[in-house]
Structure 1
């Protein structure tokens, strides 16, 4: 395989070389190349290509051979995180050492070779379909329409009828969604029809952590200076969420423990969140965000049905580099 598709060699390429490679990539996968962009965060950086296709924005992520998984703190638990855990353990009468508790929910250490990918930059919602108020699937429910009218005269920004319908107040009116039940197999089949896939658990861990050996991409503890989902103060209202900002690959990933990211596996499996279980259970910021660690064990769900309130997906295209000729379009793989 051409080494230029892998991170060490790709990072050494000059702008002209990357430009040519990205233009060739755009031609092969029938995408619009938006240009090169440098992403620099948490001690890692990557100058890579941005693309657009069918309303989605993708970024090229070079492959690499990395160590994934976790068994001990690489630097050491910082004082603020240790104090939070000490107070929590005392309150809950937990006798385990913090490192033992963390290790129990982390995936084992392993080497993995990750191939190059075109990766959707943002999570995509599942099950919810945007529709117009006149859609017969909406007008067939007078009770929905009454609740929507009541909502319109209220001060609320949104209203959700559990796994049925949703309405949100927009700048230019209202947007309605209806809920379509679907399962893991249907999601994979639908993506495959579009020439897309999902990252595997190992690929997801690489996209999230880039091969970092610390517990989180930024270090071994929680950074309490960050503006975090579900832990915002009044003065933080309206500010962007730090973890949601693009990482070193340009991806908005693993920023909200309530959002489980579906990965490619034989069974319905998720990474990047626990549906908010730890936060709902009152376990605080550190343990609340622990499922967002790139090293956390993937969670195999009990059934195949997706939950549109908690399950999200990130489309990827694995770049097929065999027989690649620069500048010549080929079949998508």
Structure 2
């Protein structure tokens, strides 16, 4: 459908866009509902789109486009603070050519055809599954029940037993997640396909995250030291309870984990390609915020060691989002 391509989509008025969104329902898996038409704005970009729901999740329309992806050189260049941060971190590893270092961490420059699609707004955990508290007694998990009672009486916001269970306090509620250690890669893929969904390719993910921008980060070539970030909260003197900046929706309305310890499941040539993080490999080395957050913030970051990581080792910090290609 020609109206689903970005150049045509931008030229359409709101009524035409709304009608185009309603016409998609006949092509979607059963259970999708159209909720309306809206706009999102971030980093100086604005996109109008349709919101759909499927069971407990929201999906957003992303128009098709021909995009330039990958990173080869600066668009505008770093500011002094970013450059100093980068050089200081790399000097500890005897790396002198910072530009070559960045090129080695990024996907190569290329042209890609991105088809129109519906994309799940918030990524899901691959290995962790939410379990209603009323179902806990049927799981025969006395340790979890004991720790839940302690957690209720505590002031902790989160507690996790490694690759076993996780308790999170959300306002007045406590949410329990159990780790599914028996889930295999093939089972995860089959479950998605059976529901009529697909996974983002690396090209699609980079486009969804950066919108086709040519800068290192979605907002430019320099790091924003005013951001509130996990693991570097002392960067910003604003101690309010506002959300972490990299978790806020982007111009497409999509949420990302914004955490280098996490990553998102995409595919490249049919193989698992984690994006949006590296499991904490770089940040664990004590690097500055620019290098430490490169995997989570740089649009075209590609973990150079991803092919060596096994599914069982990755699924604890792996997330995914379902899509429907149109």
TM over 0.5: yes
TM-score by length of 2: 0.90
How big is each residue's C-alpha offset from its partner over 1:42-72, in whole Å with a ceiling of 9 and x where there is no partner? 2332111111111110100001001111111
Aligned length: 316
Mapped pair 1:313 → 2:320? yes
Q: What's 1:218 paired with?
A: 219
Q: What's 2:112 paired with?
A: 112
How much does 1:304 deviate? 2.6
Q: What's 1:246 paired with?
A: 249
Distance in 2, Cα, partners of 1:171 & 1:247? 25
How big is each residue's C-alpha offset from its partner over 1:2-38, in whole Å with a ceiling of 9 and x where there is no partner? 3311111111111111011000113432422121111
For the structure 1 residues 281 and 114, does the alpha-carbon distance in structure 2 shift closer, same or farther, using more than 3 Å as the test? same
Q: Which moved more, 1:30-39 or 1:7-16?
A: 30-39
Mapped pair 1:284 → 2:288? yes
How big is each residue's C-alpha offset from its partner over 1:63-107, in whole Å with a ceiling of 9 and x where there is no partner? 1001111111111122110011233234x1524221111011111
Match of 2:311 among 304, 311, 333: 304
**Correspondences of 1:1-333 after superposition (within 5 Å):** 2-29=1-28, 30=30, 31-90=32-91, 92=92, 94-129=94-129, 130-132=131-133, 134-136=135-137, 138=139, 140-181=140-181, 182-233=183-234, 235-253=238-256, 255-265=258-268, 266-292=270-296, 293-297=298-302, 299-305=306-312, 307-319=314-326
How much does 1:151 deviate? 2.8
For the structure 1 residues 198 and 306, does the alpha-carbon distance in structure 2 shift closer, same or farther, using more than 3 Å as the test? farther
How much does 1:143 deviate? 3.2
Distance in 2, Cα, partners of 1:152 & 1:256? 27
Q: Which moved more, 1:188-197 or 1:253-262?
A: 253-262
For the structure 1 residues 95 and 193, does the alpha-carbon distance in structure 2 shift closer, same or farther, using more than 3 Å as the test? closer
Distance in 2, Cα, partners of 1:126 & 1:151? 24
Q: Which moved more, 1:14-23 or 1:93-102?
A: 93-102
User: Any gaps of 5 or more consecutive residues in structure 1?
Assistant: 320-333
8 Å CA contact 1:48–1:59 kept in 2: the answer is yes
How big is each residue's C-alpha offset from its partner over 1:137-187, in whole Å with a ceiling of 9 and x where there is no partner? 54x233333333333333222221211122233444533222212232222
8 Å CA contact 1:122–1:251 kept in 2: the answer is yes
For the structure 1 residues 301 and 26, does the alpha-carbon distance in structure 2 shift closer, same or farther, using more than 3 Å as the test? farther
For the structure 1 residues 146 and 88, does the alpha-carbon distance in structure 2 shift closer, same or farther, using more than 3 Å as the test? same
Distance in 1, Cα, partners of 2:112 & 2:199? 17
8 Å CA contact 2:89–2:291 kept in 1: the answer is no
Distance in 1, Cα, partners of 2:42 & 2:145? 46
State the SS of the aligned residue for 1:264: strand
8 Å CA contact 2:117–2:323 kept in 1: the answer is yes
8 Å CA contact 1:268–1:303 kept in 2: the answer is no
Q: Which moved more, 1:275-284 or 1:106-115?
A: 275-284
TM-score by length of 1: 0.88
User: Any gaps of 5 or more consecutive residues in structure 2?
Assistant: none
How big is each residue's C-alpha offset from its partner over 1:270-323, in whole Å with a ceiling of 9 and x where there is no partner? 11111122111111211112113221125335223264541101111101xxxx
For the structure 1 residues 103 and 289, does the alpha-carbon distance in structure 2 shift closer, same or farther, using more than 3 Å as the test? same
